[in-house]
Amino acid sequence: MASASLQFFAFILALFGVFGDITATLLPNWKVNADVGSNIITAITQMQGLWMDCTWYSTGMFSCTLKYSVLSLPVYIQAARTTMVLSCILSAFGICITTVGMKCTKLGGDTDSKSHACFAGGVCFILAGIFGLVPTSWYTREIISSFLDQTIPESSKHEPGGAVYTGFISAGFLLIAGVIFCTSCFKRHQGAWIYPPKQHHFPSTEQESNTGYNLKDYV
């Protein structure tokens, strides 16, 4: 019962991780630049994401421009696009697989099949967490290195936006959920590996004695 509750808790964490992963992939505020002019009316906030760049004006206007050209983008943005999409796909597969393998569901067949499905889903979550952690870390490193570069003007420097923090948190949720699912399946089989089932051998002396008795009667 405790293992089923732990798996359900891990499944909830995985759901939050999947939704956060998709949200971070689509949000346009991976890095933010606030440039405030002499007049409050001219204050603007520029945001850059993986798929679009957006500008918010203090007057309430909001405009976005999609990034159509892939080859013109920096390498870290291209890598972030690929890895974040892979993270979303793997986490979605993990949700589907663990739904079958969880103890609290009636899907997946016998105990061994559910255990294998649960372990496979946990591996998908761990891979999704790694694929989500790599681009956010790389993107943050590029932002910090550009911010500390003295040759770049202050108006062109950026800070990490909300999408980066959402990606970090989602990756952590997915990693924790994957570890819980994998360890719950490992604990289930650990006892069988340490203490193998005893094989009962029934002696055949009684059968041999009966055969000998029958042969003696015919002599």
- Quote the CA–CA distance of 33 and 135 in Å, as a whole number: 20
CB atoms within 10 A of CB 9: 13
> What's the pLDDT tens digit per position in 150-185?
888 877 788 899 999 999 999 999 999 999 988 887
What pLDDT sits at residue 80? Answer: 94
What CATH number was assigned to the domain covering residues 4-27+74-194?
1.20.140.150
What pLDDT sits at residue 193? Answer: 42
3-state helix vs strand vs coil in the chain, percent to 5: 65, 10, 25
User: Which regions of 143-188 does DSSP assign to beta strands (E)?
Assistant: 159-160
Domain ranges of the chain: 4-27+74-194
SS3 57: strand
> What's the pLDDT tens digit per position in 180-212?
988 887 654 444 444 455 555 545 544 544 555
What pLDDT sits at residue 123? Answer: 93
Q: What is the residue-averaged pLDDT of the chain?
A: 81
Q: Are 94 and 122 in contact (CB under 8 A)?
A: yes
Residue ranges of the chain with pLDDT lower than 70? 1-2, 34-42, 108-109, 186-219
What pLDDT sits at residue 198? Answer: 53
What pLDDT sits at residue 154? Answer: 77
Q: Are 42 and 55 in contact (CB under 8 A)?
A: no
